[in-house]
């Protein structure tokens, strides 16, 4: 089969190339792809290989070249990327992640339930006014409010910060970034915002709440040595958590509504019921999860399924493909919330970088879908939906809908 360039963001304007990924799994599970504007890359498309590579951080590094598909344009840019733990390897990664992880524990996240319920209820009230709504805006508002609250962003700052976060997250789409050129000033704006908030928190910690307070005060003692985050490291958390939290969860919500319009019977067993069972969320994430891949860099020459991977090679772990691997999931293209096993890799394959926001994303999705199942009888498309131009997130730019009440 002719090679598709899986790092070309335009490819995904027509959706995830499922047939091509299936072909790779069957014929070339470890497949080299040349890259017009980069060094070329391997694609790991089978479930077992993605899980194994995810766990083998010694061989597949996040620190060497970062975890983004795009190459850093300079060593300096790479250094900036490495300030955040997604672009580090253990032990640095372990230490940094430990400094924030308690803010993301299930108990901590569960405390947000009343706020999420209230936000869902308000948003669905608005959605049910008989008018056309872009569901992307509804989903973004919900997921941004949740992640901003968890993080501790004051209410008044949120509209401005949402605009910056969207520009960072959707930088490959010409509607959001008309020149499609690198825009360091947007990242600078995010860092400047972060630096300002960190300074305010330091000056008066009692006036603030959320992860940002934990970050400023966090300490980890290792071998008798106390580690704290530097100001540069603190500021680096802002884009990582806000971008990681905004688009992913929002895209998953919009994808659920898209699936509902495509097949109005898909959620029938739960419509009119009281809640969305957790396995519905898990199966949605397996079937159409929003994160298509993450990047690693090989640290040593080795062989995988007969292919010679060399130290320094770029390797993409295709979660979109692994989640449809028929060697692991029976009838993988079918949405089936009863399936077992349901051990998808939408949040990663269980290695050190497993999504830190998974509990929050699951809760958001369960509560928003629960509210929609309870109150919405059906969705109607109110115009052509438009996919986002992006090579790492499978998402939507616009999805106009009318929601009909139950």
Single out the residue of 194, 357, 385, 395 in contact with ligand HEM (rule: CB under 6 A): 357
Single out the residue of 59, 286, 353, 374 in contact with ligand HEM (rule: CB under 6 A): 353
Q: What are phi and psi of 343, to 5 degrees?
A: -90, 70
Report the C-alpha gap between 133 and 224 in whole angstroms: 56
Among candidates 76, 217, 123, 169, which has minimal Cα distance to 397?
169
Report the C-alpha gap between 248 and 294 in whole angstroms: 13
**3-class secondary-structure state, position 187:** helix
Least distance in angstroms from the C-beta of 198 to ligand HEM: 17
Binding segment for ligand HEM among 33-41, 178-186, 192-200, 246-254 (CB under 6 A)? Answer: 246-254
**Rule CB under 6 A: is residue 359 a binding residue for ligand HEM?**
no
**Rule CB under 6 A: is residue 393 a binding residue for ligand HEM?**
no
Single out the residue of 31, 284, 356, 376 in contact with ligand HEM (rule: CB under 6 A): 356
Report the C-alpha gap between 320 and 132 in whole angstroms: 31
Least distance in angstroms from the C-beta of 138 to ligand HEM: 16
Cβ 256 vs Cβ 284: under 8 Å = yes
> Among residues 99 and 127, whose Cβ is nearest to ligand HEM?
99
* CA quadruple 164, 165, 170, 171: dihedral sign: positive
Binding segment for ligand HEM among 242-250, 303-311, 377-385, 395-403 (CB under 6 A)? Answer: 242-250
Instruction: Give the x/- contact pattern for ligand HEM in 67-86, rule: CB under 6 A.
Output: ------------------xx
Among candidates 25, 43, 4, which has minimal Cα distance to 295?
43
Report the C-alpha gap between 313 and 301 in whole angstroms: 9
Is residue 34 exposed (0-12), middle (13-18) or buried (19+ Cβ within 10 Å)? exposed
Site for ligand HEM in 108-167 (CB under 6 A): 147
Report the C-alpha gap between 314 and 332 in whole angstroms: 28
**Rule CB under 6 A: is residue 53 a binding residue for ligand HEM?**
no
Single out the residue of 290, 332, 370, 385 in contact with ligand HEM (rule: CB under 6 A): 290
Single out the residue of 218, 361, 367, 388 in contact with ligand HEM (rule: CB under 6 A): 361
Q: List contacts with ligand HEM (CB under 6 A).
A: 54, 85-86, 97, 147, 240-241, 244-245, 248-249, 252, 285, 289-291, 294, 319, 346-349, 351, 353-357, 360-361
């Amino acid at each position: 089969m002719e090679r598709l360039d899986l790092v070309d963001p335009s490819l995904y304007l027509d959706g995830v190339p499922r047939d091509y990924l299936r072909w790779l799994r069957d014929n070339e599970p470890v497949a080299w792809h040349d890259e017009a504007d980069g060094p070329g890359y391997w694609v790991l498309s089978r479930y077992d290989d993605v899980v194994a590579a995810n766990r083998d951080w010694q061989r597949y590094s996040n620190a060497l070249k970062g975890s983004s598909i795009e190459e850093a344009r300079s060593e300096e840019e790479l250094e900036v990327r490495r300030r955040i733990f997604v672009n580090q390897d253990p032990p640095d990664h372990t230490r940094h992640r430990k400094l924030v992880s308690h803010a993301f524990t299930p108990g901590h996240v569960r405390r947000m339930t009343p706020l999420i319920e209230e936000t869902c209820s308000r948003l669905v009230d608005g959605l049910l006014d008989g008018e056309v709504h872009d569901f992307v805006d509804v989903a973004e508002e919900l997921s941004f409010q949740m992640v901003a609250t968890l993080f501790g962003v004051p209410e008044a700052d949120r509209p401005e910060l949402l605009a910056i976060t969207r520009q960072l997250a959707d930088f490959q789409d010409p509607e959001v970034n008309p020149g499609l050129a690198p825009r360091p000033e947007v990242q600078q704006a995010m860092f400047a915002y972060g630096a300002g908030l960190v300074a305010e928190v330091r000056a008066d910690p009692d006036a603030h709440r959320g992860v940002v307070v934990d970050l400023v005060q966090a300490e980890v003692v290792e071998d008798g040595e106390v580690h704290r985050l530097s100001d540069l490291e603190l500021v680096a958390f802002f884009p990582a958590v806000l971008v990681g939290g905004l688009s992913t969860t929002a895209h998953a919500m919009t994808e659920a509504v898209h699936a509902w319009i495509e097949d109005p019977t898909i959620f029938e067993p739960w419509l009119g019921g009281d809640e969305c069972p957790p396995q519905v969320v898990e199966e949605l994430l397996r079937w159409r999860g929003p994160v298509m891949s993450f990047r690693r860099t090989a640290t040593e020459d080795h062989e995988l399924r007969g292919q010679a991977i060399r130290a320094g090679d770029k390797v993409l772990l295709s979660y979109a493909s692994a989640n449809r691997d028929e060697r692991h999931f029976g009838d993988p293209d079918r949405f089936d919330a009863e399936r077992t096993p349901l051990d998808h890799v939408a949040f990663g394959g269980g290695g050190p970088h497993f999504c830190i926001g998974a509990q929050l994303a699951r809760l958001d999705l369960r509560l928003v879908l629960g509210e929609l199942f309870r109150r919405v009888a059906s969705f109607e498309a109110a115009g052509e939906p438009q996919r986002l131009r992006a090579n790492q997130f499978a998402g939507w730019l616009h999805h106009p809908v009318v929601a009909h009440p139950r």
